[in-house]
Structure 1
Amino acid sequence: MEETRTYTISVYTENNVGLLNRISGIFVKRHINIESINVSGSEIDHVMRFIIVVRTTEKWVHNIVGQIEKQVDVIKAYYHNDEETIFLETALFKIGSHLLFDERQIQNIIKESHSQIVTVSREFFVIAKSGRREEIETLYEELRPYGIMQFVRTGRVSVSKAQMEISTLLKEFVH
Structure 2
Amino acid sequence: MSTENKQFTVSVYTENNIGLLNRISAIFQRRHINIESLNTSPSEIESVSRFTIVVNITESQMKKIIGQIEKQVEVIKAFYHTEDEIIYQESCLFKIKSELLFDERQIQNIIKDSNARIVTVNKQFFVLEKSGRKEEIDLLYRELNVFGIMQFTRSGRVAVTKDEMKISTLLKAFQE
Cα distance, 1:3 vs. partner?
A: 1.8
Q: How many residues align?
A: 175
Task: Render the CA deviation track for 1:135-171: whole Å, top value 9, x for unaligned.
Answer: 1111011001111000000011000111111121123
Write the distance in 2 (CA, Å) between the matches of 1:74 and 1:46.
Answer: 13
SS at 1:173 equivalent: helix
Name the aligned partner's letter for residue 95 of structure 1: I
The one-letter code of the counterpart of 1:51 is T
Q: Which amino acid aligns with 1:110?
A: I
Q: 1:9 corresponds to which letter in structure 2?
A: V
Provide the secondary structure at the position in 2 that maps to 1:60.
helix
RMSD: 1.0
- Asked whether 1:115 is paired with 2:111, we answer no
1:1-175 to 2 correspondences below 5 Å: 2-175=3-176
TM-score norm. by structure 2 comes to 0.97
1: distance between equivalents of 2:149 and 2:175? 50
State, as a whole percentage, how many aligned pairs show the same letter: 63
Which 5+ residue runs of structure 2 have no aligned equivalent?
Answer: none
Distance 1:143 1:20 in 2: 34
Task: Note the residue ranges of structure 1 that are not aligned, 5 or more in a row.
Answer: none
Q: Shift of the alpha carbon at 1:174? A: 4.4
**Residues 45 and 172 in structure 2, CA contact (< 8 A), matched pair in contact too:** no
- After superposition, the Cα gap between the structure-2 partners of 1:69 and 1:104, relative to the gap in structure 1 and judged at 3 Å, is same
Q: TM-score, normalised by structure 1?
A: 0.97
One-letter amino acid of the structure 2 residue matched with residue 25 of structure 1:
A
Q: Distance in 2 between matches of 1:16 and 1:173?
A: 16
